[in-house]
Structure 1
């Protein structure tokens, strides 16, 4: 098969599934991993796909990447960020964890914490933390988003508004150079805004891939966040805004 035809088929797969993986493509086309990596690098240069760890995604600013693929994206960076975040969370505190694979990674790092009260609109977070016998867990309720186990909508916002948390650990779909937290789901945005209002301190966990992405719905400016935990140095415009707004930046080491 010619390279151009393979590129066309790779793009068709990405359009159907939202993302592609190097190993799956190599098996599908019967070629080496190196060949697929070269294909994806070239398609990235041409703007057809966006390279990520282990594969590539469609460069969309309006549709999020599928949950199963997001689980495997930048997993080492997410684990490092989660460990750095958990180190900032004391025992004997109330905590909110919202929707996202990054907050799920944080939940795994909280399994040894003691005397936690966790409220979440993420069913995956609840299923992870149920293994911690010294953690009280409250699910907000709301409309179930089947794709990722998230709970969203007005019922979720009403439930969140009943609490006041010591710390909220949140993720986002994108963080642009203007310092705006962005998302794809407008129902989730309303919930995230309520979470921020109801927290004494807000921790944002976001790996470097979020800083290169775009999404259509604004959650809040970064000035409403107390601590940003990420894995790579920020672009200068964003670093300057963090300094201006007094946002502490913690770089996690993988």
Structure 2
């Protein structure tokens, strides 16, 4: 296979999943990892992609992929982050769970808790929780965004006005030390922004592929989030910069064991 053919295949995978791993693409294309690294270097030089530890992400922060596709992307990292986030939940808590695939993994980690009141704007998350008698599940209402199966808009904003939670758990589209935490969709971003104000403690869940990218709509500055949980593939320099801004940053191995805080 010629270099251009390989790089075209890499772009197809990135457009579908937004992120790839060198080990996966070298196996799929039956070439060495060094060959793929050279391809990624050339593609980064052309501004097509951005290399990250062990792989690459699409160099378009405002491009979204289908919800089902994203659910299987970086699944090991998301499950590990979700498991660590669940340790913040105590029986009897009132919590908000934002939309997104990492948040869906998170709610599956808290099913053994007792007496929770869970507020969400995500239809998949509400559907996941609806049969658990130990939980009171509240959906904030609003217009349905079909791509994400989330709720937003004036009805949602009015619902939020009188709701206050102990803790809020938020996914995010992009993380940048200067732009803060950003998302693609304006309506969803406004829901997240308002809910952060109404939570006593905000906990943000972001795998390595979300870092050093910027989407259009700011949800919060770096200083406005209490806890950031990510995986050990995230660039250490970025984590050090976040910690300098007085953030509680937690990294986890993909198996779920915590590295540091």
Shorter chain as denominator, the TM-score bin is 0.7 to 0.9
Distance 1:51 1:144, change over 3 A: farther
Distance 1:3 1:237, change over 3 A: closer
TM-score, normalising length from structure 2?
Answer: 0.81
Structure 1 stretches of 4+ moved >6 Å: 36-39, 51-56
Give the unaligned 5+ runs of structure 2.
256-261
Deviations 1:218-237 (A, max 9, x none): 11112111111111265435
The answer for the alignment partner of 1:213 in structure 2 is 213
Match of 1:35 among 31, 34, 42: 31
**Aligned-residue offset at 1:58:** 3.0
**Aligned-residue offset at 1:240:** 3.8
- Return the alpha-carbon distance in structure 1 between the equivalents of residues 65 and 28 of structure 2: 25
The answer for the alignment partner of 1:239 in structure 2 is 240
- Return the alpha-carbon distance in structure 1 between the equivalents of residues 54 and 222 of structure 2: 29
The answer for the alignment partner of 1:228 in structure 2 is 228
Deviations 1:163-196 (A, max 9, x none): 0000000111011122600111111111111011
- Return the alpha-carbon distance in structure 2 between the equivalents of residues 236 and 206 of structure 1: 16
Give the unaligned 5+ runs of structure 1.
none
- Return the alpha-carbon distance in structure 1 between the equivalents of residues 63 and 129 of structure 2: 29
Distance 1:152 1:231, change over 3 A: same
- Match runs of 1:14-93 below 5 Å: 17=16, 19=18, 32-35=28-31, 41-45=37-41, 46-47=43-44, 48-50=48-50, 58-93=58-93
- Return the alpha-carbon distance in structure 1 between the equivalents of residues 195 and 227 of structure 2: 15
**Does structure 2 conserve the Cα–Cα contact (< 8 Å) formed by 1:53 and 1:74?**
no
**Does structure 2 conserve the Cα–Cα contact (< 8 Å) formed by 1:19 and 1:55?**
no
**Does structure 2 conserve the Cα–Cα contact (< 8 Å) formed by 1:52 and 1:73?**
no
**Aligned-residue offset at 1:74:** 1.4
TM-score, normalising length from structure 1?
Answer: 0.83
Deviations 1:196-243 (A, max 9, x none): 110011011111111133212211112111111111265435534434
**Aligned-residue offset at 1:109:** 0.3
RMSD across aligned C-alpha pairs, in angstroms? 2.9
The answer for the alignment partner of 2:158 in structure 1 is 158
**Does structure 1 conserve the Cα–Cα contact (< 8 Å) formed by 2:14 and 2:20?**
no
Distance 1:235 1:37, change over 3 A: closer
**Aligned-residue offset at 1:59:** 1.8
- Return the alpha-carbon distance in structure 2 between the equivalents of residues 121 and 90 of structure 1: 21
**Does structure 2 conserve the Cα–Cα contact (< 8 Å) formed by 1:119 and 1:138?**
yes
1:144 aligns to what SS in structure 2?
strand
The answer for the alignment partner of 2:123 in structure 1 is 123
- Return the alpha-carbon distance in structure 1 between the equivalents of residues 59 and 52 of structure 2: 11
Distance 1:49 1:39, change over 3 A: farther
Task: Give the length in aligned residue pairs.
Answer: 246
